[in-house]
Amino acid sequence: MAGGWQDIRDEVLRRIQTRRWPPGSQIPNEAELAGEFGVARATVNRALQALAEDGWLERRRRAGTRVAAAPQRRARLAIPLIRQEIEAGGHAAAHRLLGTAPGPAPAAVTAALGLAADAEMIQVRTLWRADERPFAVEDRWVNLSGAPGFDSAPLDRISANEWLVRHAPFSHGTLEYAAETAEPELADLLGCAPGAPVLVLERHTFGPSAPVTFMRLSHAPGHSLKLEI
Amino acid sequence: MAGGWQDIRDEVLRRIQTRRWPPGSQIPNEAELAGEFGVARATVNRALQALAEDGWLERRRRAGTRVAAAPQRRARLAIPLIRQEIEAGGHAAAHRLLGTAPGPAPAAVTAALGLAADAEMIQVRTLWRADERPFAVEDRWVNLSGAPGFDSAPLDRISANEWLVRHAPFSHGTLEYAAETAEPELADLLGCAPGAPVLVLERHTFGPSAPVTFMRLSHAPGHSLKLEI
DNA sequence: AATTATTTGTGCGTATGTATC
DNA sequence: GGATACATACGCACAAATAAT
């Protein structure tokens, strides 16, 4: 007996994946499954809830539980610190502060964060390296009222990324990956040819009471986002 | 009160996000929280389990529950059918079969799928459109022994993508997003300039007993992968 | 349109197992 | 070994949603 409800989850998942319970079909109700597996109904409930949360099952009261018509798996994308991402690849991470600039952010940035155009912000530009090779250029705007104290962070010693994770409250945000081609200035920083394809991550971060930061991370060519599902 | 254990999850999450319980700190044990919230310990347990699964908490027996040092959020990336992705954007989805070709796949494909170089496979190439505008080109190799019956699928009427979701068992796979520049042939199909940046998704899919398919989806410029966290 | 029956959602209290300090 | 805290189970109860009557 290893897993309790997880065993039941796995067995149900097996029946879905092997099409013993094909997409769209209704599966036995909780009480029946509890009888079959010899467990309490609450145990079956816990297993089926987990599968529903992962998109395998659709459950409705009275109507019962059925296998999702197109069981779309949901990958879990862990969003690491840039440093961790580099180190997870087996490289030594280093960051170099390219510059900071207090002052107004571009209108597109303040608008997306829901801020007034004259909100007090700081721009920070950072070059990340993996084993001395350019890894990514980070362009960031930080909203001071959403990240109090950021203006006195020692950005030469701790990256803006890490300072914010450690000190700024965080509640939700958006992520967007897109492909772009490297402008000459970016290409120079990344050590690639102008026009090379770069994977760009844009991220908006909001705290419980105020927007925190907008970040644009332009990865060196060859970088990819890998997921297991 | 609406949510039961979800209310408790939300309140605990609020305390984490507002740094009342800062990263790395230990939170009260289940029994204490149950007392504070006036619920049974099992209810607290359900809430904390959910937060642990989302990466906010780290729980160890006897050691207690603490806030993750760097609470890295895990976004759930739902991988939809291409058709659904297009329609979710408010466009009409259409697919055109560019061609099929039985025969051996490139060595890189068979190797990544764990197949012998001479495995019986079929290549399918599809152009997807959103409101008549090119959306993506899908290059796919299907392993016949992992997807029995695929060779007689009516690919002019149902896309390979949809046929496989509906008929082939699957258990796990990999996803990889990368930026590339459009080759002339691809640019022609996508209606963009050669060298334009395209977001490419590569996907390996495995069934419970055999590899199923490898897919390479090259999106038209401007497409991005959006996530909420 | 109102009622009933079914199914899931969630809770409670309690008990036992198990990893870990 | 003992104590602690999480992991999970059981059985029961009731609420909420909703398909069927």
Q: What is the CATH number of the domain that holds A92?
A: 3.40.1410.10
B66 CB below 7 A from strand D atoms: no
pLDDT confidence bin for A113, thresholds 50/70/90: very high
pLDDT value at position A170? 84
pLDDT confidence bin for B1, thresholds 50/70/90: very low
Q: Would you tell me which residues 178-207 of chain A have a C-beta closer than 8 angstroms to some C-beta of chain B?
A: 178-181, 195-200, 207
- Give the C-alpha separation, A50 to A223, whole Å: 33
**Residue B171 and residue B93 share a domain:** yes
How many CB atoms neighbour CB B40 within 10 A? 12
**Residue A179 and residue A207 share a domain:** yes
Chain A residues whose CB is inside 8 A of the B224 CB are 176-178
- Which nucleotides of chain D are near protein (any atom < 7 Å from a CB)? 3-13, 15-19
Closest nucleotide C1' to the C-alpha of A52: C8
Which residue in A14, A84, A199, A203 has the most chain B C-beta atoms within 10 A of its own C-beta, making it the best mutation to test that interface? A199
| B96 part of contact set with chain A, CB < 8 Å | no
**Residue A120 and residue A168 share a domain:** yes
Contact (Cβ atoms closer than 8 angstroms) between residue A22 and residue A67: yes
| B19 part of contact set with chain A, CB < 8 Å | yes
Is residue A140 domain-resident? yes
**Residue B156 and residue B59 share a domain:** no
**Residue A163 and residue A193 share a domain:** yes
Give φ, ψ of A93 to 5 degrees.
-95, 140
pLDDT value at position B128? 97
Lowest mean pLDDT segment, chosen from A33-47, A65-79, A187-201: A65-79
The residue out of A17, A44, A67 marking a domain boundary is A67
| B14 part of contact set with chain A, CB < 8 Å | yes
Comparing alpha-carbon positions, the chain B residue that sits nearest to A75 is B77
What A187-195 contacts at long range (C-beta under 8 Å, 24+ apart), as own/partner pairs, is A189/A98, A189/A127, A189/A134, A189/A137, A190/A134, A190/A136, A190/A137, A190/A218, A190/A220, A190/A221, A191/A133, A191/A134, A191/A220, A192/A134, A192/A220, A192/A221, A195/B181, A195/B195
How many CB atoms neighbour CB B219 within 10 A? 24
pLDDT confidence bin for A1, thresholds 50/70/90: very low
Amino acid occupying residue A170:
F
**Residue B180 and residue B112 share a domain:** yes
pLDDT value at position B3? 66
The CATH number covering residue B42 comes to 1.10.10.10
In the DSSP assignment, the letter for residue A4 is T
Is residue B226 domain-resident? no
Is residue A73 domain-resident? no
Contact (Cβ atoms closer than 8 angstroms) between residue A203 and residue B184: no
Which tens digit of pLDDT belongs to each residue from B56-111? 999 988 889 989 887 777 777 877 789 989 999 999 999 999 999 998 899 999 99
Which tens digit of pLDDT belongs to each residue from A28-39? 999 999 999 999
Question: Which residues, by CB, come closer than 7 Å to strand C?
Answer: A 1, 29-31, 41-42, 45, 48-49, 52, 59-65; B 3-8, 38-43, 46, 60-63
**Residue B184 and residue B99 share a domain:** yes
pLDDT value at position A2? 57
Lowest mean pLDDT segment, chosen from A55-59, A77-81, B109-113, B152-156: A77-81
- Which nucleotides of chain C are near protein (any atom < 7 Å from a CB)? 5-15, 17-21
Is residue A226 domain-resident? no
The residue out of B33, B67, B101 marking a domain boundary is B67
Mean pLDDT estimate for chain B = 92
pLDDT value at position B21? 92
**Residue B41 and residue B116 share a domain:** no
- Give the C-alpha separation, B65 to B164, whole Å: 43
Tokens, residue A227? 């997921």
Burial of A71 (0-12, 13-18, 19+ CB in 10 A): buried
Mean pLDDT estimate for chain A = 92
- Give the C-alpha separation, B154 to B160, whole Å: 9
Is residue A19 domain-resident? yes
**Residue B157 and residue B102 share a domain:** yes
**Which residue did the predictor score with more confidence, B23 or B199?**
B199
Chain B residues whose CB is inside 8 A of the A228 CB are 172-175
**Residue A50 and residue A27 share a domain:** yes
Cβ neighbours of residue B100 under 8 Å, at least 6 residues apart? B122, B123, B124, B125, B155
Angstrom CA distances, A225 to A141, A163, A176, B71, B178, stand at 24, 24, 12, 20, 6
With H, G, I as helix, E, B as strand and everything else as coil, classify residue A190. Answer: helix
Instruction: Choose among A200, A207, A206: nearest CA to A221.
Output: A200
Q: Is the pLDDT assigned to residue A147 strictly greater than 70?
A: yes
Is residue B224 domain-resident? no
Contact (Cβ atoms closer than 8 angstroms) between residue B177 and residue A177: yes
The total domain count for chain B is 2
Is residue A136 domain-resident? yes
**Residue B201 and residue B117 share a domain:** yes
The full length of chain A comes to 229
Which tens digit of pLDDT belongs to each residue from B180-199? 999 999 999 999 999 999 99
**Residue A152 and residue A107 share a domain:** yes
In the DSSP assignment, the letter for residue B170 is -
Query: Given an 8 Å threshold on Cβ–Cβ distance, is B71 in contact with A170?
Result: yes
Cβ neighbours of residue B14 under 8 Å, at least 6 residues apart? A208
Query: Given an 8 Å threshold on Cβ–Cβ distance, is A228 in contact with B172?
Result: yes
B52 CB below 7 A from strand D atoms: yes
The full length of chain B comes to 229
**Which residue did the predictor score with more confidence, A171 or A182?**
A182
Is residue A138 domain-resident? yes
Q: Is the pLDDT assigned to residue A3 strictly greater than 80?
A: no
Which tens digit of pLDDT belongs to each residue from B157-167? 999 999 998 88
Q: Of all protein residues, which has its CA closest to the C1' atom of D5?
A: B62
Tokens, residue A209? 């009471």
The domain in which residue A63 lies consists of: 5-67
